[in-house]
């Protein structure tokens, strides 16, 4: 062996000894996501079963999820009780009633706000042909887009159903003729009329019908193929969850809300049908600040407008479509703090999203089948509390 080889060999031995003396610290493996705590959800399941046994609702689907953890899903009770009993399934499509407000109308308004089509404090009369500003009856204050979105318009809660009317044009005329009973910006009244006018504004701004806007700008970008208006055009009736018996007919695939039904099923305040899995996907997009798996539905500005209070000072807090802190906030439960947001639907639906914990729940039921029963707001509160406890681990 040459002197050079001996030197290299000796250096290698020395280097090896030196490396062996250095303690090797490998990077720690990432911690496994903390699973949801099952105990609050088991207790909640017993309470839901009790409510079903007491006849308060026929059945329900529950979805609870926190980012990084496997979701919890459960099915309770039945899909239908009339004209015959049918089992419920996780993929059942529900009439989600006023969840239409944030999922469709709120998102579309946030998108167009970001695109500069309007500002929140623009007078409605500036954008909506045929709307006459009621200066005298409203105390002189202009009705603005902000007032509509945050239920601070002072407008009546619903459109009149008598005398009988039919069609979207008739509904629009009634909404345009509605007048505030209180000066805009001074009182909080939850009002479907607000969302009739917002739907009219969306169609004026875009020239597109509302169901097409929902499909092309919200549902398709998120891959929500099982959700939409007019569900009988895409689903067999057997997949849809029935609601109320009206006369001799049980509504199935026809929207439960009477004004939306007279309009043909497409409205800004109601009309969306969806399964729990699609609404869970939507909630993930909201937790992702408008983005899901590289697909952006809301810009950062639009997301912030939706999910933070836009209400006039001193009134209950509402975002664009979302409830944040108001008399309607019991679905938040008793654990999650103010700062999240959610909504309910008259048919028996609720969802709440809590960015602080990165958790959410979707609860879908048809409490109005086969007849309208008492509200289940206490059950929503129990769901919100159990979901928060489960997400906390």
**pLDDT tens for each residue of 233-251:** 999 999 999 999 999 999 9
Strand order in the sheet with 349-354: 86-87, 72-80, 59-66, 359-365, 349-354, 341-345, 323-325, 317-318
Judge contact between 254 and 273, C-beta under 8 A.
no
Peptide bond into 54 cis (omega under 30): no
User: What separation, in Å, do the N-terminal and C-terminal C-alpha atoms of the chain show?
Assistant: 66
Which residue from 101, 99, 96, 94 is spatially nearest to 268, judged by alpha carbons? 101
pLDDT tens column, 267-288: 999 999 999 999 999 999 999 9
Q: How far is CA 205 from CA 186, 213, 214, 347, in A?
A: 27, 11, 14, 30
Beta strand pairing call for 273-274 and 323-325: unpaired
Q: What is the mean pLDDT of residues 374-392?
A: 97
Judge contact between 50 and 57, C-beta under 8 A.
no
Residues forming beta bridges with residue 123, ordered by sequence position? 144
pLDDT tens column, 173-191: 999 999 999 999 999 999 9
Integer Cα distance of 273 and 93 in angstroms: 6
pLDDT tens column, 11-35: 444 434 443 444 545 555 555 568 9
């Amino acid at each position: 062996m040459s002197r050079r080889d001996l030197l290299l060999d000796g250096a290698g031995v020395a280097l090896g000894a030196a490396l062996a003396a250095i303690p090797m610290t490998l990077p720690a493996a990432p911690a496994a996501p903390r699973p949801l705590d099952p105990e609050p959800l088991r207790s909640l399941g017993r309470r839901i079963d009790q409510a079903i046994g007491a006849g308060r609702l026929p059945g329900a689907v529950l979805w609870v999820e926190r980012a990084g953890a496997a979701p919890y899903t459960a099915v309770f009770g039945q899909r239908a009780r009339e004209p015959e009993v049918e089992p419920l399934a996780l993929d059942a499509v529900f009439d989600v009633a006023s969840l239409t407000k944030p999922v469709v109308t709120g998102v579309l308004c946030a998108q167009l706000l970001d695109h500069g089509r309007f500002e929140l404090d623009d007078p409605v009369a500036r954008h909506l042909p045929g709307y006459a500003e009621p200066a005298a009856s409203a105390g002189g204050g202009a009705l603005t887009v902000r007032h509509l979105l945050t239920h601070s318009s002072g407008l009546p809660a619903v459109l009149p159903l008598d005398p009988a009317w039919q069609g979207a044009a008739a509904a629009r005329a009634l909404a345009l003729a509605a007048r505030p009973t209180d000066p805009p910006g001074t009182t909080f009244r939850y009002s479907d009329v607000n969302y009739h006018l917002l739907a009219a504004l969306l169609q004026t701004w875009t020239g597109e019908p509302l169901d097409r806007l929902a499909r092309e700008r919200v549902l398709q970008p998120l891959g929500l193929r099982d959700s939409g208006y007019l569900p009988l055009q895409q689903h067999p009736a057997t997949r849809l969850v029935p609601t109320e018996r009206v006369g001799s007919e049980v509504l199935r695939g026809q929207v439960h809300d009477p004004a939306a039904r007279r309009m043909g099923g497409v409205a800004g305040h109601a009309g969306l049908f969806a399964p729990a899995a699609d609404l869970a996907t939507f909630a993930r997009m909201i937790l992702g600040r408008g983005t899901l798996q590289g697909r952006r539905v809301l810009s950062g500005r639009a997301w912030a407008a939706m999910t933070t209070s836009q209400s006039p000072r001193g009134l209950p807090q509402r975002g664009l479509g979302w409830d944040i802190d108001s008399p309607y906030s019991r679905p938040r439960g008793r654990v999650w703090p103010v700062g999240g947001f959610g909504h309910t639907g008259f048919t028996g639906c609720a969802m709440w999203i809590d960015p602080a914990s990165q958790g959410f729940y979707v609860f879908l039921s048809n409490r109005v089948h086969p007849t309208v029963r008492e509200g289940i707001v206490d059950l929503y509160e129990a769901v919100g509390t159990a979901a928060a406890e489960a997400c906390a681990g």
